[in-house]
Structure 1
Amino acid sequence: MGLPGGLQNVKPADAEVSIAVQAIKNDPKLAKFENIVPISYATQVVAGINYFVKAKVDNGYIHLRIFKNLQQHYSLTSIKEGVGAECPLNYF
């Protein structure tokens, strides 16, 4: 999984990140987005896992930071709007 604290290589969306996005889709901060489709993601090992996700939404793209704690609970910690399809995933 990599060194604690480091952002791991970006990879295409898979079942792991789809589960994370599904778990936070009802967060009130995401209410204005009807369809959120993960495209790619990177992970960061902390006291749990941070998922940095590029997602397609109805009107473009967003980046999401989703935290999964040691008890396997997911929470949305940050949203970055106004990103383009080519905008790289970085820590935010």
Structure 2
Amino acid sequence: MMMCGGLSDPVAADEKVQTICDGVKNHVEAKLGKNYGVFTAKSYTTQVVAGTNYFIKVHVGGDEHIHLRVYQRLPCNGGETELSDVQEGKSHHDPIEHF
């Protein structure tokens, strides 16, 4: 059982996480000033807070990856998702860590 505030073990991305990525892609592109033809969620971890933080490794083409932190509110608070932060310059082998 995961403790509140701790990160889960990384797991392969699924359709739900890809949908979350698709929902914040425009925000990521605006923040980084780039357009991505490839934007594929590869793996993720979660952190339970007053909602859920998703730390997602995203393949953006070639050997390039980025890491996203996306916050999803609890359903009782609307359940919306928002981009919290993004890290560039990641590779397939870089572990997903809290940021």
Same fold (TM over 0.5): yes
**The one of 53, 73, 77 aligned to 2:80:** 73
Shift, 1:83, TM fit: 1.1
Q: Is the 8 A contact 1:33 1:57 kept in 2?
A: no
Pick closer, same or farther for the CA change 1:13–1:30 going to 2, 3 Å. farther
Match of 2:93 in 1: 86
Pick closer, same or farther for the CA change 1:51–1:44 going to 2, 3 Å. same
Q: Using the alignment, how far apart are the partners of 1:41 and 1:91 within structure 2?
A: 11
- Identity among equivalent positions (%) equals 38
Stretch of structure 1 that moved more, 35-44 or 21-30: 21-30
Match of 2:19 in 1: 19
Q: Using the alignment, how far apart are the partners of 1:14 and 1:86 within structure 2?
A: 19
Q: Using the alignment, how far apart are the partners of 2:57 and 2:90 within structure 1?
A: 9
Shift, 1:25, TM fit: 1.4
Instruction: Give the root-mean-square deviation of aligned CA atoms.
Output: 1.5
Q: TM (normalized to structure 2)? A: 0.85
Which of structures 1 and 2 has the bigger CA Rg? 2
Give unmatched runs, 5+ long, in structure 2. none
